Amino acid sequence: MSGPPAAVSDPVWIEAYLAWLATQRRAAALTLENYRRDLRRLHALSEGRDPGLMSAPELRRFVGRLHAQGLGGRSIARCLSAWRGLYRWLIRHQGLKHNPAEGIRAPKSPARLPRVLSPDQAKALLDAPADGLLECRDVAMFELFYSSGLRLSELSGLTLDDGLALGGGLVTVIGKRSKSRTVPVGSKAIEAVNAWLALRASLAATDCPLLFVTRSGTRMSPGAIRSRLALRADAVGLGVHVHPHMLRHSFASHVLQSSGDLRAVQELLGHASIRTTQIYTHLDFQHLAKVYDAAHPRARKR
């Protein structure tokens, strides 16, 4: 289910809260975009009422309506997280007495593992020759995604002035909570980025610091990168929908399968908690289970 249609202008409380998140919490652009969508849902469900006048039973009814409309448990949980954050801000800065969103739980969703590409699928996606300037840029973006396990916001924010040290095979990015991390860049990605750098000046303005730019020389938006990745996956006949985070998932899964080093994968991904990284152990077990089923003489189906 998609979010409510964009309003001509959002209410003052949405703009004020998002401005606080941007300046005081240094929330990333994608985080702010998600919060805006979830706060617009609250505004639409309440038919424009002041959020300070809403009660816990009303919010529970809103959750029920979202679920009835087909929104999944994880998406509703994200909505509730945004709503709770809003009410905490209202309590702290607007004198609200209580948080009606506290204690409200989202419906449970069945556990889902992240989808990943197989190594052969990743190879097919990245090895197909680049036809023209924009495809050269795209290959460089996607090689860097898969090579270094970057987040979408980290890749789109890369600049020439800092972060990229191809000579040393490293890239430094600013991740969540404005934390920086340095990760290796593989030889294929270095080759692809260097090929793009040789052509980049024909699109980018001389004062533009961004590594990846559009045909008009402006920053690649998250939506534009998603669209270009889906287009390439379709063009090479991959047969599956590929999104940027799938390349990050594939990076993590493939490194874990080869190394078995969960702590290293945690550091490479920039996860604050290893519990977040442990989901990839389930993917690794699925891979091992398939190998076992195919190889063990007492496991093979007759």
Q: How is the chain split into domains, by residue range?
A: 12-94, 119-292
Residue from 202, 195, 213, 201 nearest 159 by CA:
213
Contacts of 161 by beta carbon, 8 Å cutoff, 6+ apart: 209
Instruction: Give the active site residue among 36, 151, 228, 232.
Output: 151
Q: Indicate if 271 belongs to the active site.
A: yes
**Backbone phi, then psi, for 260, in 5-degree steps?**
70, 10
Better pLDDT: 254 or 2: 254
Decide if 26 is catalytic: no
Q: Which of 115, 176, 188, 226 is catalytic?
A: 176
Q: Does 297 have pLDDT greater than 70?
A: no
Does residue 290 surpass a pLDDT of 90? Answer: no
Q: Which residues pair with 183 in a beta bridge?
A: 171
292 has pLDDT over 70: no
| Range ranked top by mean pLDDT from 194-208, 252-266, 274-288 | 194-208
Q: Mean pLDDT: which of 85-89, 167-171, 270-274, 298-302 is highest?
A: 85-89
Looking at residue 289, its pLDDT comes to: 52
Residue 8 has pLDDT above 60, yes or no: no
Measure the CA–CA gap between 39 and 37, rounded to whole angstroms.
6
In degrees, rounded to 5, the angle at the alpha carbon of residue 104 between the alpha carbons of residues 98 and 106 is 150
Fold of 119-292: hpI Integrase; Chain A (1.10.443)
- Which residues, including other chains, have CB under 8 Å from residue 143's CB and lie 6 or more apart? 126, 186, 188, 189, 192, 193
* Residue 23, both tokens: 């300046």
229-277 pLDDT per residue, tens: 999 999 999 989 999 999 999 998 888 888 888 888 888 888 888 777 7
Q: Which of 84, 226, 245, 287 is catalytic?
A: 245
Fold for domain 12-94?
DNA polymerase; domain 1 (1.10.150)
